[in-house]
């Protein structure tokens, strides 16, 4: 397999794994929410307080964050975006190096010119 194809395959495998985890997280969230409700209301663990709502809300927040990371953030901050950012930074560094080299050359030429005029 060519390196490019291998990279595409690895990226696809990673994305499938991420999506699989989100689906599993949703199932776990759904079953866990029912379990928390049953513990609070049917097994009478502090039934006067609806603590299960707080637990489910906190868990829902975590699930939404996980969902956003996988389906929103990862959809536009992917390998292509990462490569573009790397290329941009490398180009910027090359420009700075080139500017510094030009400045160094100019400084060397100026100092040589000053040395030749002062020795004359």
Is residue 118's pLDDT more than 70?
no
Q: Would you say 40 and 46 are in contact if contact means Cβ atoms under 8 Å apart? A: yes
**What's the rounded Cα separation, in Å, for the pair 20 and 75?**
15
The number of beta carbons lying within 10 Å of the beta carbon of residue 36 is 18
**pLDDT at residue 78, as a whole number:** 78
pLDDT band at 97 (very low <50, low <70, confident <90, very high): very high
Indicate the range of 62-71, 96-105, 111-120 predicted with least confidence.
111-120
Q: What is the pLDDT of residues 48-68, one digit of tens each?
A: 888 999 999 999 999 999 999
The number of beta carbons lying within 10 Å of the beta carbon of residue 18 is 14
8-13, long-range: CB within 8 Å, 24+ apart, which pairs? 11/78, 11/79
DSSP state of 49: S
Is residue 117's pLDDT more than 70?
no
Q: Would you say 52 and 37 are in contact if contact means Cβ atoms under 8 Å apart? A: yes
Provide the percentage of residues in the chain whose pLDDT is more than 90: 55
Domain ranges of the chain: 1-76, 78-120
pTM greater than 0.85 (yes/no): no
Indicate the range of 29-43, 69-83, 105-119 predicted with least confidence.
105-119
Q: Is 52 exposed, middle or buried (0-12, 13-18, 19+ CB in 10 A)?
A: buried
């Amino acid at each position: 397999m060519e390196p490019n194809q291998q990279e595409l395959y690895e990226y696809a495998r990673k994305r499938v794994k991420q999506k699989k985890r989100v689906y599993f997280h949703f199932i776990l969230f759904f079953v866990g929410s029912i379990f928390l409700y049953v513990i609070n209301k049917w097994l009478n663990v502090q039934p006067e307080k609806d603590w299960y709502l707080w637990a489910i809300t906190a868990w829902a927040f975590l699930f939404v964050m996980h969902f956003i990371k996988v389906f929103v953030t990862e959809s536009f901050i992917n390998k292509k975006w990462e490569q573009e950012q790397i290329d941009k930074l490398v180009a910027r560094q090359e420009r700075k190096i080139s500017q510094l080299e030009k400045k160094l050359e100019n400084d060397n030429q100026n100092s040589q010119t000053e040395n030749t005029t002062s020795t004359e």
